[in-house]
Chains A and B, each alone.
Chain A
Amino acid sequence: MSLEVSARVRLGSLDLDVELAVADGEVVALLGPNGAGKSTLLRVLAGLQPLDGGRVVLDGAVLDDAEAGRFVPPERRPVGFVFQDYLLFPHLTVLDNVEFGLRSRGLPPARAREWLARVGLGELASARPAALSGGQAQRVALARALATDPRLLLLDEPLAALDASSRAALRRELKRHLESFGGIRLVVTHDPVEAAALADRVVVLEAGRVLQSGSHQDITARPRSRYVADLAGVNLWRGIAAAGQVRIDGATLAAIEPHQGEVFVTVQPRAVALFRNRPDGTPRNVWRGRAAGVDYLGDRARVRLEGTLPIVAEVSRAAVDDLGLAGGAEVWIAVKAAEVEVYPA
């Protein structure tokens, strides 16, 4: 009982080439920037996008096999799809929307009322979708997709269309519903908080390729792309390691762990210290830079610094004022070798 995908699709500027295996009962978040191919991958699984190459196998049944010419049409796949904009049928009532899938699949339509009650919308059964709030529409879409008892549930940015105030509450509720569903769940998102909250495993998709896969902690601790590094809020470089040193574009960082060859290097912004005068003593990595921009986050501030090695530092508001960073002051940048994390590329 599992999902095995190897999908190759060319669609406009997108060149999707993804291998993915999901265990039964697993919740996987597909995380990535816009245009990475996340939604296209969901459409492939639902049968809405034919494959150019590869195959899709769900619970041992081949749904798609480009080479063998096998293709199960969407209406015969045990798949539920919650679309980003929900796509409730505007000409049908809420109840008819949920019954639609049951009637199409020859299941007893009475289940629709149970599902509406389960998502807390029993009283809105005869309402039209146009009369619903975003959160209510999202719940109807979820009930409609789950009512047919699919083996695979696909959710395309299920919370993106909601305003920030209701998103947190609905995220908790969605998590509850996802937990009560036994099959495989794939959630597309570009929000790392959502990915961490809803999924057991996060798969990072960029430019049509799987870049990283693992728990949220694993991925943010060892980012392998600028996109993930920005999500995790860490400094990331790619360089060449030799004898405790890493060379990055003409600059050098000293690290403690010895590595060889191509590596990724991360430094937490909090571990970057800034000084007006050259610091004496322990820090092994010291260089000069100029403040190029300051973003305030409460009483902390993130400072972008230009120099031989551009870096982001997180310092207190007081430090920004003391050092004149908002005015673009020149400072000394110091990072302890122990704070330089190195891992193979």
Chain B
Amino acid sequence: MPLLGLVVRAPWADGLRELGAPESLDALKLSLVCSLSATALALVLGVPLAWLQARAEFRGRSLLRALTTLPMVLPPVVGGVALLLAFGRQGLLGHFLFDAFGVRLPFTTAGAILAETFVSMPFLVITVEAGLRSMNRRLEEAARTLGAGRWRVLTRVTLPLIAPSIFSGAVLCWSRALGEFGATITFAGNFPGRTQTLPLAVYLLLETRPEAAVMLSLVLVAVSLAVLVGLRDRYLVAR
């Protein structure tokens, strides 16, 4: 029903013009940059994390897993506050980052990317971990009896075998990052061209130019729908 409302009220005639407006294009571009960067960052951090959770035996593994998935259930605003406390000027790490490297994360594009990564990475970690757990580990043993060392087993057997999981996880992660609002606005603020991503632009435009907000919303809906339809078959087959 809400979707229907969106479609019915869409100012189709002026819509394309609204989408072409500079601030809409800026928000769109920034959203793509931030969400893709967040996905890349999540891949770099999330795949090793997933491997650790699936394969390594250590104390506190269930605690680590809980912490990893926490951003999924936390209100994103709370995530943003937590990020501020950690990476803000007065924050635990942010304080050090600024003093040592002059790096400031809050209210920057990098901050928006960090906020999106924080919220969206769990989707990747969970999917990749499930992939690692469901793969036939004896294939890795077979590779070792054929003379492959651990690195070669990882790059030639394990990663290719879980490639579908990594791909699904990355797409889920990306679509979540694209729609991220709460943590981003809390941690990175709402500066056009710098931290104002599509969802933030929608929120702001609702006050001033509702037609534009509707059109941008439709873009987000279309992307999310495409992702879900694209992944659905993969998921049904995998289960």
Contact = CB atoms under 8 A, between A and B. Distances in A.
A75 B160 contact: no
A81 B142 contact: yes
Contacts of A145: 145-146
Contacts of A101: 146-147
Contact of A100 (B136, B149, B156, B161): B156
Contacts of B136: 87
Nearest to B163: A91
Contacts of B143: 89, 100, 104
A75 B142 contact: no
Contacts of A74: 141, 144-145
Contacts of A46: 145
Interface string B150-172: 00100011001101000000000
Interface string B1-43: 0000000000000000000000000000000000000000000
Interface in B125-150: 136, 138-139, 141-149
A288 interface: no
A50 to B, nearest CB: 13
Given A83-B138, A87-B142, A104 B160 contact: no
A105 B144 CA distance: 11
Interface in A86-131: 87, 89-91, 100-101, 104-105
A212 interface: no
B234 to A, nearest CB: 16
Nearest to B136: A87
A48 interface: yes
Nearest to A154: B145
Interface residues of A, number: 24
Contact of A89 (B144, B145, B152, B157): B157
A122 to B, nearest CB: 21
A144 B141 CA distance: 14
Interface string A42-83: 000011100000000000000000000000011111011101
A91 B147 contact: no
A75 B139 contact: no
B146 A148 contact: yes
A172 B187 CA distance: 71
B148 A75 contact: yes
Contact of B142 (A47, A73, A76, A83): A83
Contacts of A144: 146
Contacts of A90: 139, 161
A148 B144 contact: no
A91 B144 contact: no
Contacts of B157: 89
Contacts of B160: 91
A104 B152 contact: yes
Given A90-B161, A91-B161, A104 B138 contact: no
A104 B148 CA distance: 5
A104 B161 contact: no
A148 B138 contact: no
A76 B147 CA distance: 6
A100 B148 contact: yes
B210 to A, nearest CB: 50
A43 B62 CA distance: 30
Nearest to A83: B142
A48 B144 contact: yes
B144 A73 contact: yes
A104 B147 contact: yes
Nearest to B160: A91
Contacts of B152: 104
A89 B141 contact: no
B161 A79 contact: no
Contacts of A77: 145
Contact of A75 (B138, B149, B156, B161): B149
A75 B141 contact: no
B145 A81 contact: yes
B146 A104 contact: yes
Given A89-B157, A104-B146, 9 more contacts: A46-B145, A75-B148, A76-B147, A77-B145, A80-B145, A87-B139, A87-B142, A101-B146, A104-B149
10 contacts: A48-B144, A75-B144, A83-B142, A89-B139, A89-B161, A100-B148, A100-B156, A104-B147, A104-B152, A148-B147
List 7 tightest A-B contacts by C-beta distance, closest first. A101-B146, A104-B147, A105-B147, A87-B142, A74-B144, A81-B145, A104-B148
